[in-house]
């Protein structure tokens, strides 16, 4: 469930950023250089967020793998 939830969060974030970019490019009277700069900045932010989410996911998977190799809790208990 957590994986689906994160995927939906990523999709929602990317779609909202694309919508904001499309609306801003369509209705704002800014120079071409400024529009290009904002577009590049939003793409860099989106790529950075995706990299963070994927890194966090890999860390969670590594933690789960490490924990699964531990012996059951009742083995050393009196």
DSSP assignment of 20-50: HHHHHHHH----HHHHHHHHHHHHHHHHHHH
* Least confident piece of the model among 18-27, 35-44, 67-76: 67-76
Within 10 Å of residue 42's Cβ, how many Cβ atoms?
16
pLDDT tens-digit readout, 29-60: 878 888 888 888 888 988 887 788 777 777 67
- Residue 69: in which H helix or E strand, if any? none
pLDDT of 55 reads 75
Q: What is the pLDDT confidence band of residue 13, given thresholds at 50, 70 and 90?
A: confident
Q: Give me the half-sphere count of Cα atoms (radius 13 Å) on the Cβ side of residue 12.
A: 6
pLDDT of 75 reads 67
**Mean pLDDT, to the nearest integer, of 21-32?**
81
- CA atoms of 75 and 10, how far apart (whole Å): 41
The residue assigned the tokens 């059951």 is 72
């Amino acid at each position: 469930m957590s994986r689906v939830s994160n995927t939906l969060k990523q999709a929602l974030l990317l779609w909202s950023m694309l919508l904001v970019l499309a609306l801003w490019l369509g209705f704002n009277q800014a120079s071409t250089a400024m529009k290009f700069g904002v577009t590049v900045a939003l793409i860099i932010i989106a790529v950075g967020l995706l990299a963070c989410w994927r890194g966090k996911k890999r860390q969670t998977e590594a933690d789960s793998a490490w924990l699964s190799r531990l012996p059951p809790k009742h083995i050393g208990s009196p």
